[in-house]
Structure 1
Amino acid sequence: MDHPTDPPEVVEALATLDDTIARILDTPPWAQQILTAAAGHLRTEDPFLALTDGDLTATLDMVTELITGHLPLAVAEQAMQRAAAVLPKRHYRETCDTYALRLLKAARNV
């Protein structure tokens, strides 16, 4: 008994769905992207300067806007809250570069 084959539109839709699901599964969470981008910024701007609370806040605000600016506000806020929950505590006179390395380690746990 022959089985009917799917029409070409269905085959194409299923292939597109498979691609979309694969892309979603391969994309890191928004919070992880925020932390990784912040670490990259800290390592390239002034890696040997002591990191201040103001520098860290400004960096996180900037990368959060760049990464989540196109998302609904609730999604962006949740991503930032998840990122903030795993931020390592700054050490006294810690350089931006050293903190960035610890930030990357924290990003892996999101």
Structure 2
Amino acid sequence: MSVINFATAEIGALLLVPTCLLAQPLRLDLRARSLRSFSRVICNLVFGHIAFPPATFLVVKGVFSGLGSANAGDFWNWVKSLWAWNSATYLYISMMHLPCWLLCIYFLIHTC
């Protein structure tokens, strides 16, 4: 991916690597009832939420231009502009990021 777009690969790595490394079924951590397992549950929930592309877009837009101006239509316009510009980010999100995110969410809600 870094051959196509280094910045996209770097952002993806910063979001997906911690998410993939921490993914462990939440039920196991909730049964353990220790501080370490509780902190892992919190990290899993935070990374699982932030790694979802629409959520990340809304958080970044909210930070830079205020939460009052962020809406779902802006995400759709951004995705359409990626498609129109033939950006590698569109391919990265659809073929790499979303499948990895879905796999991590599957691990989190998996029943043992």
TM-score (ref. length: structure 1):
0.28
Q: TM-score, normalised by structure 2?
A: 0.28
Question: Which has the greater radius of gyration?
Answer: 1
Higher helix share: 2
